[in-house]
């Protein structure tokens, strides 16, 4: 491979673009403490994966995979690969369903703990665990 293979670079630019997008979403999920923001990051990640899939199915000079209405198919016309479209179509709807499930969990967490920040949640969890241990050790101590 030469140092500047323009064909190669331009031909792979789409993958790199989507990977950068994916990593943006990933960064939000890992680095941000707010749960709603994590879900948004997950959505960005998800959409980037969708676009990566669709871009694999694209054929240069191809058109959308819909035949003319009279079903007289012109063999000269190339169509893009319809299979990724089908997979991603269903994935989007399932994605929004799972997103709403995540948001519902967040609402419940907020109602139980009064916060949706990861750090504060961990702190509260720790306190509850410590209290539990104290209680149990008292019970064990009485028995002993």
Partner 1 sequence: MATALAVVRAQSLFATAMLSGVFSLLSALLLVVLDAVDVAFTEAAVGAGISTVLMLGTLALTRRFESPPSHSPVLPLFVVLVTGAALIYGTLDMPNFGSATAPAQVHVGPDYIERSVEEIDVPNIVTAILASYRGFDTLGETAVVFTAGIGVLLLLSGLRRRRRDKKEDV
Partner 2 sequence: MRHHLILRVITKLLIGTIMLFALYVQFHGDYSPGGGFQAGVIMAVAFIIYGIVFSLDDVQRVLPPWVVHKMAAAGVLIYAGTGVYSLFAGYAFLDYAALSPHHPVHGQHYGILLVELGVGVTVTGVMVTIYYAFTSRTPILDDEAW
Chain residues that interact with partner 2, rule: CB under 8 A: 64, 66, 69, 89-90, 92-93, 97, 100, 103-104, 107
> In Å, how far from its chain's centre is CA 28?
11
Grouping H, G, I as helix, E, B as strand and the rest as coil, residue 79 is strand
Q: Tokens for 112?
A: 């139980």
Residue number with CB closer to partner 1 (118 or 127): 118
136 binds, among partner 2, partner 1, none (CB under 5 to 8 A by kind): none
Nearest distance, CB of residue 18 and partner 2, angstroms: 23
The one segment of 72-80, 125-133, 136-144 that binds partner 1 by CB under 8 A: 72-80
Site for partner 1 in 19-48 (CB under 8 A): 19-28, 30-34, 36-37, 39-41, 43-44, 47
Binding residue for partner 1 (CB under 8 A) from 2, 3, 104, 130? 104
- Give yes or no for residue 16 binding partner 1 (CB under 8 A): yes
Report in angstroms the alpha-carbon separations of 40 from 4, 9, 25, 33, 143: 37, 30, 8, 12, 51
Phi-psi bin for 63: left (phi > 0), alpha (psi -120 to 50), beta? beta
CB 50 within 8 A of CB 88: yes
Residue among 2, 3, 4, 7 that touches partner 1 (CB under 8 A): 7
DSSP secondary structure letter of residue 78: -
Closest to partner 2 by CB, 7 vs 74, is 74
Q: Is 65 a residue that touches partner 1 (CB under 8 A)?
A: yes
List the beta bridge partners of residue 79. Answer: 63
């Amino acid at each position: 491979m030469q140092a500047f293979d323009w064909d190669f670079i331009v031909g792979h630019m789409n993958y790199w673009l989507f990977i950068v997008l994916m990593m943006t979403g990933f960064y939000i999920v890992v680095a941000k403490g707010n749960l709603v923001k994590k879900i948004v990051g997950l959505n960005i990640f998800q959409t980037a994966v969708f676009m990566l899939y669709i871009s694999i199915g694209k054929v240069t000079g191809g058109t959308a995979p819909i035949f003319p209405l009279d079903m007289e198919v012109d063999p000269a016309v190339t169509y893009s690969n319809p299979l990724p479209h089908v997979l991603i179509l269903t994935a989007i709807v399932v994605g929004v369903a799972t997103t709403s499930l995540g948001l519902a969990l967040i609402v419940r967490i907020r109602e139980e703990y009064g916060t949706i920040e990861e750090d504060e949640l961990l702190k509260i969890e720790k306190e509850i665990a410590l209290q539990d241990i104290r209680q149990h050790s008292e019970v064990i101590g009485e028995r002993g």
